Amino acid sequence: MALSDFTGPDYIDAWTADLDRRWPERAMMAECVVRALVRWCNEGVVDPSEEKRHAVIRVLELGVGAAGLARSVLNSLADASGEGPPATVEYTGIEIEPALVLHGKELLETAGHRDIRLVHADLKDVAWTAGIGPFDAAFSLQTFHDLGGIDALEAVYRQILGILAPGGLLVNADFVVPFEKDDPERPRRLPVETHKVLLSSLGYVDFRCEMQRGKKACMAARRP
C-alpha cells in the first residue's frame, strides 16, 4: 500500500508499520545496511592512509521514507570506529514525497542531529544530483525498484558514482526477486547478479552481496 492509502495523524508511522509487517526481512536488511556502513567506516576505506577515524563523514540516503534507517545510521556512524571524539556525520536525504521530507527533518532534528539536509527531489530526474556531494557513502533501502526498471537503476547507479568521493561506498538493499504481478517484459525487481554486472560495468569495484533474505538482498560496492 502507498503512503496515500493511509490517513489520520500517525499515517506515516502506519505506512511504515505496514511495510514492516508485509516484509519482515526489512529489519535485517536495515541492520545489514548499518553494519556495512560501520564496517567501512572502521576499516577507513575512504582514506586508507589515514590511521585515525574520520572527523567528518558525509552520507547520502536515497528514498528516506519515515527516516528510521537514517536515524540508526546517524547514531551508529557517530559512535563508530576507534578512539577519539565522535565523528560529525553530515546527512543528506533525497525523497520525492514532501510530507516525508518534513517528517524526516523533524524526526532527525528531534533526535539531536544537526548536520542534516532533506532534499525534495525525484531520483528519475537527471538533475537530482545538482549542487550536492561529494559523499563518503550512499545508502538506500527498498527504493530503487520503484524507479521502474533496469535503465532507471543504471542511471541512478551512474549518478551516485558521480557524487561519491574516491573510495566511497554504496550500500543498496532492495527486492531482488520478482513479484507475480510484475511485467516480465519490464522487470524492476532485479537479481543480485544484474546489480553486480551493472555496478561493475559502471566502474564500481569490490561488489559484495552482504545478505539475501526473503525477497531482498543487501549489496555493497565501492568507487575506486
Ligand X SMILES: C[S@@+](CC[C@H](N)C(=O)[O-])C[C@H]1O[C@@H](n2cnc3c(N)ncnc32)[C@H](O)[C@@H]1O
Binding site for ligand X (CB under 6 A): 16, 19, 63-66, 68-69, 94-97, 100, 122-124, 141-143, 146-147
Burial of 152 (0-12, 13-18, 19+ CB in 10 A): middle
Reading the block at residue 51, the C-alpha cell is 590511521
Q: How far is the CB of 52 from ligand X (least distance, A)?
A: 31
The residue among 52 and 124 lying less far from ligand X, judged by its C-beta, is: 124
- Residue 90 burial (CB count, 10 A): 18
Burial 137-149 (b: 16+ CB within 10 A, else e): bbbbbbbbbebeb
Specify the residue for cell string 592512509.
Answer: 49
The residue among 97 and 136 lying less far from ligand X, judged by its C-beta, is: 97
The residue among 45 and 102 lying less far from ligand X, judged by its C-beta, is: 102
The residue among 26 and 54 lying less far from ligand X, judged by its C-beta, is: 26
Q: Closest CB to ligand X belongs to which residue? A: 65
Q: How far is the CB of 102 from ligand X (least distance, A)?
A: 13
C-alpha pair distances (Å), 157 with each of 30, 92, 161, 170: 20, 17, 6, 9
Q: How far is the CB of 173 from ligand X (least distance, A)?
A: 8
Q: How far is the CB of 155 from ligand X (least distance, A)?
A: 11
Q: How far is the CB of 148 from ligand X (least distance, A)?
A: 9
The residue among 77 and 94 lying less far from ligand X, judged by its C-beta, is: 94
